[in-house]
Structure formats: structure tokens, C-alpha cells
Structure 1
Amino acid sequence: MTIPMKIPMTILVTGGTGFIGSAVVLQAIRDGHRVINVDCLTYAAATESLAAVADHPAYAFAQVDIRDRTALDAVFAAHAPDAVMHLAAESHVDRSIDGPAAFVETNVLGTFHMLEAARSYWVSRGKPADFRFHHISTDEVFGSLGETGMFDEDTRYDPRSPYSATKAGSDHLVRAWGETYGLPILLTNCSNNYGPRQFPEKLIPVTILNALAGKPLPIYGAGLNVRDWLYVEDHADALLTVLTRAAPGATYAIGGENEARNIDIVTAICAILDDRRPDHAPHARLITHVTDRPGHDARYAIDPSRIRADLGWQPSLTLEQGLAQTVDWYLDNADWWQPLQDRAGVGVRLGTAPVAP
């Protein structure tokens, strides 16, 4: 049975200065909620992503590492959240190949400390039935699909990279805290996100920014790997829908229903840029096939029928609409992405081969 949630809520968002986290923070404040953003500001953090709400009375920021239990306890005590949305994670597969330790420490141990801090706080408040711990995860925990089939909430776990293995581990911890301690948990697994404010190490922003600079557009292997693409603002809307409407213990798979091969994503961006920046056309001449990523999953696809049936959510944008909006955002917001070009790993190929410890 769904327990009505307190509206508006005070929501503790971890990783709120990251790509998906910042979209959630912005949407939550638009929806009238109060937000406490807990973020330790790693290389992928972009404080400018939240410039619009930095001085908003409903927004608070705490620079805290989720592995620091003492600091977490202090944040819970100071802000008394009604819910947690746990997004903080190391998320780049290539970086996980080169340095898996950071992924274990943040994604597994960090989630453990978040769960324990939330459980202690929840118990101290008398175990309120309307408290929620919402853990945001990825479809990569399910492994790789063949040419047919889709992931859903009952798909068995089969992670293939250090990143997906650590996210799978964090999912299991969250479910265990729900079963063992009764913590009211929610868990969602999403498909590939894209859109404004994505750190320039993932396929779509790399393609846009390299094309603008006249640099090669790297495609792993033949570019035939298929992903289901979800516009980040649609994802933020889905996450807040789950938080405020789903029954405790629920799991939802969230997808954009937009499957595409990597090579098709890159050529579509090139076509948009040919229209927006015709003096540099054709941008497709910059496409360069490079050595594939080790253990590169062939295909991901999500069946989102449960969230559509239970909660009435579905994505609002087609892939064509979302890509056009994304390209336009990067064209209009050079002041956001230009300072990020000097950060570690940006513009450098990572994860080319397993590295000896």
C-alpha cells in the first residue's frame, strides 16, 4: 500500500552537483521541495550547474564525503530530511577500468555509510512510515543483452565492469537494509542519461565539444553497441515521481524507450551541428574508430512498463528532440563547459586496457 508522502518534503540529495543530481535538485526545487545537497565535489562536480538555485531559500549545500559517517550524522541532525535521494557515485566505466578502488570506496562503502546514517536517523525519529531512502542505480548492473530482449525489474544481475559491479553491490546493500532493518527503501535502475550539464567525458558531450573544436570523434570499435537513451530532465521527473508516489520497497526500471547505436548517435549529432554550424560541415568527416573498450557490453534496453502502469510516468522527449536540445544547450553555454576542459582525464582516452595494481 502506498503511504501518502509529506508535500512539500525536505530531501537530502547526495551527489547533487553532478549531472543527474543537479537535474534532480533543480526539479525538486521547482516542485516546491526543500533540498540539502551533500557532495564532496569530485573532478566531475560542476557548481555552476546549480547557479540558478545557489541563493534560493529552499536550497542548502554541505560539502561532505559520503564515506564520512560523523559528517553524515551531523547533516541528518541539522536538516531533518523526510527522504534521501542517493545519487553520489563514481560513474565512468573507463575510469573504473583504470582505477577500480575509488569505485569500491564510493559506490559500495559510501552507500553503506549512507544507509547506516539514514537508518540511525530514522530510528531516532521513531521510524516514521513516510521516510524514504531512494537509491538511484543503473541498467549496467544487468550485464549485456543480445539483439532481442529487454531489462526489467526482475532481470538477474550480471555486471561486467568494475563500475557496474560496484553499483550492483550497492543495490544489494540497499535491498538488504530494507529486508533486515525495515528501512523504507526505493530502488531505480535507469538507462543511459544525456542532456544539459553532462561532464565532458561521456559519448554525447565529447562528440559535441570535439566536433566544435575540429577534433576527432572517437567511436569504440565499429560503433554498433546499442544503448537506450533517457533525457536527464525526464529522468529527474521520474525519480521524483517514484519518491513521492511509490510504495516502500518498490523497484522501478526507468528507460527512455530510445534505442540507438553509438555510431548513429554520433552521426545524428554531426547532422545537427552541420545545420547549426554549417561553416565547419560536414562534421562526420571527424569520426574516428578506435580500439574498443575492454568488456564493452553489446546492448542495453529497458522495459519501463511497470513505472508507466503503476505511476503513470513516461518520457516526454524523443531522442531526436532531446539531442537537438542538448546540442543547443552546449552551443549556448560555453561558459559552463570551457572551464572543465582542463580537469584531469578530459580529452584523454581512458580505460584502454586493464592496468596492473
Structure 2
Amino acid sequence: MKILITGGAGFIGSAVVRLAVARGHSVVNLDALTYAACLDNIASVSGDPLYAFEQADIRDRNAVARILETHKPDAIMHLAAESHVDRSIDAPGEFIETNITGTYTLLEAARAYWTTQGKPESFRFHHVSTDEVFGSLGDTGMFTEDTPYDPRSPYSASKAASDHLVRAWSETYGLPVVLSNCSNNYGPYHFPEKLIPVVILNALAGKPLPIYGNGSNVRDWLYVEDHADALLCVLEKGRLGRSYNIGGENERSNLELVQTLCAILDEKRPRAGGSYAELITFVTDRPGHDARYAIDPTRIRQELGWRPSVTVEEGLERTVQWYLDNEDWWRALQNREGVGMRLGKTT
């Protein structure tokens, strides 16, 4: 299969690129190379004959049309997105432009391409989204594919809008689509502005380990390579028009997560002054911070036979070791815009 992957130089996208190539798929990576993209993420496949790279913005209809006509993919996996909640609070316009306008432009280019190819039944447009579109849970309950949308941040609202566009293009124009909504990802190549890499790198630098509020916010953590496997599973076996929630079955509060990271670092690279946990610092909470996310993965498990293979303890240990072993990668990114700064304080 030849797959066009948007956002393939990003964190999740690059994991999908690497896995797809490893499994023998031809991959065309379409990426605008914005601040969070890094070509080093796909260096391991950059010379592979199955891999091609196209630098373009998904909002550029002519560029997307050219790429589709040139490469003639069998499927599109749409991962390109602005995804950092704090940045969406400070600059929501960029999220509207990329996540909504970009998805619309890509859908129209895909529809035109699919039509000119004779509307092949095998074609797929896989839209990759987030569990944040469902809003916030209380102490109990889980998100299912039928949970009503209730986004609370500019980021999640923009992703919710893109989900609705994809479903509309399926219903109105018959575009063959599948959708997936995932829980929080972590693992190798995670851009150093999200919680887990921030904690690891701050700890190594002897800096405070910031936790919003009292650390009670709960997330379901999904190892990125498990997510890549699930996405290919949905692309290849998912039912048309169907959405699939992808979770790691690994709920942890932010405080528990950071304490686990500190314990791993204490073992792998002991701190002269004591435990890394002594660096934990509680900071003013993010505006509109959702209390809890949890995924019910019953549908993808029962229909497609997929479930995560990595526990959060295993995944965090692998992640910490990866950052310890790849200092050149993360040091090169620390001077990029906004990295190391507290964002999203606007009220």
C-alpha cells in the first residue's frame, strides 16, 4: 500500500512513518516543517526507497493536489495538526487555520483526487484525532465513540471541528473515511514542550518539575509506538465511516506520573542532592484544565483485535532511557520558539 501521511515529521506521525516503512508500505511524508517537526525523527528511513518526503502546507490546495497526482497514494493518514493546548490558549488562530482550514483543504483535495481515480473502493482517508474532543470526565466513566463532543480548549475545539468535517465529507460526498481518537501519547521523539519530556529534561538540568494545580488531573497514557500500530490497524481493517477510540489502558494522575519518572531517573542517573522528586513544584493551573480523560477501547479490541502491548511503567522506562541516550536530538530543539517557557497563562 502507498500511504500519504500528513505531519510525518512530528511526534506521532514519525512513529507511523517508521512503522509503515518497516512493514513494507510505501510512504509519502507531507509536512510543513513547523516548529514541532524534526526531520531527525525519520532519519532512520530517509534513505529507504519506500520513503519520499514532500514539504508542503496542508492549507495549500495546489501543493496538496500536485502531491496526490504525483504519488497517487492508496490512502491518506491525516495527522498534521497544531496540538499543544497551552499554545492554543495563547494563539488560537493558528489552531483554527491548521486544524480546521487545513483539514477542509485536504478533504477537498482528497475528494477531487479520489474522483479522478474513479472512486476506488479501496481508498481510505484516515483522520487522526484526540480524546480531548469529548471534554472532561468525573471520577468515574470512560469515553466511548458515542460520547457527545464537549471540547474545552481552542485546541480541542479545533480538532472537534475537523472531526465533524471529515464525517460530513463522508456523508455528503461518500468519501471513504475512518476516524480515530487517541489518549495522551508519550515515548521517543516527543517534542520537549509536553509534560513527560519537560519533566525528564528539567530533572536532568536540576530545574523545578512543574505540575499544574495539585497534580490530580488524570490521563490515559498511550505509548506512541503502540499508537502507530493501532493506526495502521484502523487504516487496514477499520469499517468505513466508523470511529475508533485508542487508549493505553494506563490511567495515572499527573502527580503519580511525575513521581514515577523521578523514581526511574533516581535509578538510572542518581541525583547528587537526593531524589528528583524533591524538585516537584506545583504551579498555577491551566485555564479550563480538564480533570480526567479515560478511553473505553472495547470497539477497537472487539472489532479489530487490537490492544496496547506496553504498560505505562515499561513505556516510561523506555522513554527515560531514550532521552538519556539521545541528548543530541533534544538539545538541538531546546532553542526553538516557546520551548522551556510557561505558555497558556492567558485568562
TM-score range, shorter chain: over 0.9
Question: 1:290 & 1:41 partners in 2: Cα distance?
Answer: 31
Paired position in structure 2 for 1:157: 149
Paired position in structure 2 for 1:5: none
Paired position in structure 1 for 2:240: 248
Paired position in structure 1 for 2:162: 170
| 1:318 maps to which of 300, 311, 336 | 311
1:90 equivalenced with 2:95 (yes/no)? no
Paired position in structure 1 for 2:266: 274
Offset at residue 247 of structure 1 (A): 1.8
| 1:196 maps to which of 185, 188, 192 | 188
Offset at residue 353 of structure 1 (A): 1.6
SS of the counterpart of 1:61? Answer: strand
SS of the counterpart of 1:341? Answer: coil
1:20 equivalenced with 2:12 (yes/no)? yes
Structure 1: runs of 5+ lacking an equivalent? 1-8
TM-score by length of 1: 0.96
Offset at residue 248 of structure 1 (A): 1.2
Offset at residue 220 of structure 1 (A): 0.2
SS of the counterpart of 2:316? Answer: helix
Offset at residue 128 of structure 1 (A): 0.2
SS of the counterpart of 2:179? Answer: strand
Runs of 4 or more consecutive aligned structure 1 residues displaced over 6 Å after TM superposition: none
| 2:326 maps to which of 319, 329, 333 | 333
- How many residue pairs are counted as aligned between the two chains? 346
Question: 2:133 & 2:79 partners in 1: Cα distance?
Answer: 15
Offset at residue 306 of structure 1 (A): 0.5
Question: 2:24 & 2:233 partners in 1: Cα distance?
Answer: 14
Amino acid at match of 1:292: D
1:1-357 matches, cutoff 5 A: 9-280=1-272, 281-354=274-347
Question: 2:39 & 2:67 partners in 1: Cα distance?
Answer: 19
Offset at residue 279 of structure 1 (A): 3.6
Amino acid at match of 2:141: G
Question: 2:125 & 2:78 partners in 1: Cα distance?
Answer: 7
Which digits, 9 at most, give the CA deviation of each residue in 1:245-267, with x for residues without a partner?
A: 11211110000000000001101
Question: 2:219 & 2:270 partners in 1: Cα distance?
Answer: 28
Offset at residue 46 of structure 1 (A): 1.0
SS of the counterpart of 1:103? Answer: helix
Amino acid at match of 2:302: A
Structure 2: runs of 5+ lacking an equivalent? none
SS of the counterpart of 1:66? Answer: coil
Which digits, 9 at most, give the CA deviation of each residue in 1:41-63, with x for residues without a partner?
A: 00000110111011110000000
Paired position in structure 2 for 1:4: none
Question: 2:129 & 2:39 partners in 1: Cα distance?
Answer: 22
Question: 1:88 & 1:97 partners in 2: Cα distance?
Answer: 19
Amino acid at match of 1:144: S
Which digits, 9 at most, give the CA deviation of each residue in 1:319-343, with x for residues without a partner?
A: 1000000000000011111100000
Question: 1:108 & 1:353 partners in 2: Cα distance?
Answer: 22
Alpha-carbon RMSD: 0.6
Amino acid at match of 1:318: T
Question: 2:345 & 2:262 partners in 1: Cα distance?
Answer: 25
Question: 2:332 & 2:207 partners in 1: Cα distance?
Answer: 18
Question: 1:349 & 1:244 partners in 2: Cα distance?
Answer: 40
Amino acid at match of 2:338: G
SS of the counterpart of 1:313? Answer: coil
Question: 1:335 & 1:351 partners in 2: Cα distance?
Answer: 28
Paired position in structure 2 for 1:3: none
TM-score by length of 2: 0.99
- Give the share of equivalent positions with the same residue, in percent: 68
Question: 1:169 & 1:266 partners in 2: Cα distance?
Answer: 32
Question: 1:342 & 1:278 partners in 2: Cα distance?
Answer: 26
